């Protein structure tokens, strides 16, 4: 494909083969594009596919969303629907602005079709994102906001930290993703434990309910994003807690600390610390989605994410029990044509299935 053969190698060459610089330059271009409606219209005609899905009381333009991490601070919100996404998740955002971990902290493994990151929730803070949304408005597709714990906040104060982000962004989010599964903030994954998660979800549900009542609208859905490294027993316990506290859905999965499936030639890069995403995560992410779907009897909506880079990956994730999917690594490595291909294929399969049922 043109992106893989020419565009990506050129981007890396012009940016000193630094993946984070490539990310920053790409996001800057898309942020500028977001301010040019005629250009957005041209891009939309090329990439957008209408294949609506209704979930959580929201109408998604199609089932393919942008995962958190690409546009942490919501800088390019108008560009994502034009590029064909049916919804976008910004963040992970924290109550306090923070620079993240020291560079280098982003590593590409092209032979493995994978990325390792230890970004550490680098973002301008919840208040800054709220101010940008107030000034520029929301995109015309559902907007998810992923919230996490500020690094300097002690675990004992994590609940209040999450609550402040929820309050700041409640007027803007169509759903919240509660990120307790990133491997790049010390101690964060311990918030997946029963007692810690129960306290966090209870307080966030209470706060959200108060904010919704004050605004005279239904409560904004809360979803929990889980790690792929949990055992079945730990995941089952987490799902019990989510059910007890009325969680609206599960996002499965975050990045993994495992290093299975890497190309031998990339073993040195694979030894870098951080979360691994991309092709090596494909099977495990699908296993987690299948487990969640079975464990909950299909009653809990799932957003499937992890290693989706082909239409077959996307369809198999939906078949495993996901209602929506998200991409990030494959989009970054293979370009916007990927989103169009996924949507076009999924829409065609859905159309054929509907025809068979009505035929």
Catalytic residues: 182
Angle between helices 282-295 and 232-244 (to 10 degrees): 50
Q: Are 83 and 43 in contact (CB under 8 A)?
A: yes
CA 302 to chain centre: 12
Q: Are 97 and 152 in contact (CB under 8 A)?
A: no
Angle between helices 194-215 and 232-244 (to 10 degrees): 30
Which neighbouring-strand residues pair with 276?
116, 256
> Cis peptide leading into 51, omega within 30 of 0?
no
111 DSSP 8-state letter: G
Q: Which residues are annotated as a binding site for substrate?
A: 72, 117-121, 179, 184, 254-255
123 DSSP 8-state letter: B
Compute the residue count for the chain: 359
Torsion angle (degrees, nearest 10) of CA 64, 121, 220, 249: 60
CA 17 to chain centre: 25
Residue partners of 109: CB distance under 8 A and separation at least 6: 115, 116, 262, 263, 266, 269, 270, 278
Q: What CA–CA distance (Å, rounded) separates 345 from 296?
A: 28
Q: Which residues are annotated as a binding site for FMN?
A: 68-72, 92, 146, 179, 225, 253, 278, 307, 328-329
Q: What share of the chain is helix, strand, coil (3-state, %, to 5)?
A: 50, 15, 35
Residue partners of 354: CB distance under 8 A and separation at least 6: none
Q: Which residues are annotated as a binding site?
A: 68-72, 92, 117-121, 146, 179, 184, 225, 253-255, 278, 307, 328-329
Within 10 A of 192 (CB to CB), how many other CB atoms are there?
Answer: 22
């Amino acid at each position: 494909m043109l992106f893989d053969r020419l565009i990506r190698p050129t981007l890396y060459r012009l940016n000193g083969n630094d993946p984070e610089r490539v990310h920053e330059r790409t996001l800057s271009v898309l942020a500028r594009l977001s301010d040019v409606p005629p250009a957005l219209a041209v891009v939309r005609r090329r990439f957008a596919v209408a294949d609506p899905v209704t979930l959580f009381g929201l109408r998604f333009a199609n089932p393919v969303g942008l995962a958190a991490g690409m546009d942490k601070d919501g800088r390019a919100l108008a560009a994502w629907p034009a590029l064909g996404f049916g919804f976008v998740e910004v963040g992970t955002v924290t109550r306090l602005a923070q620079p993240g971990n020291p560079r280098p902290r982003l590593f590409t493994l092209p032979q493995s079709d994978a990325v390792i990151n230890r970004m550490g929730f680098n973002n301008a803070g919840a208040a800054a994102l709220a101010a940008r949304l107030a000034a520029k408005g929301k995109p015309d597709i559902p907007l998810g906001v992923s919230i996490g714990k500020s690094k300097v906040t002690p675990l004992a104060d994590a609940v209040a930290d999450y609550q402040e982000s929820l309050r700041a962004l409640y007027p803007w989010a169509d759903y919240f993703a509660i990120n307790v599964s990133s491997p790049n903030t010390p101690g964060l994954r311990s918030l997946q434990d029963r007692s810690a998660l129960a306290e966090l979800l209870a307080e966030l549900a209470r706060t959200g309910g108060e904010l919704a009542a004050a605004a005279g609208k239904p409560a904004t859905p809360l979803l929990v994003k889980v790690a792929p490294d949990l055992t079945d027993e730990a995941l089952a316990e987490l799902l019990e807690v989510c059910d007890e506290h009325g969680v609206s859905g599960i996002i499965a999965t975050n990045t993994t600390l495992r290093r299975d499936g890497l190309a031998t030639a990339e073993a040195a890069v694979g030894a870098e610390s951080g979360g691994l995403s991309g092709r090596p995560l494909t099977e495990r992410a699908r296993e987690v989605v299948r487990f969640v779907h079975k464990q909950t009897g299909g009653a809990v909506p799932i957003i499937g994410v992890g290693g989706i880079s082909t239409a077959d990956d996307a369809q198999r994730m939906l078949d495993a029990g996901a209602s929506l999917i998200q991409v990030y690594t494959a989009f970054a490595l293979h370009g916007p044509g990927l989103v169009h291909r996924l949507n076009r294929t999924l829409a065609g399969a859905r159309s054929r299935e509907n025809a068979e049922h009505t035929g």
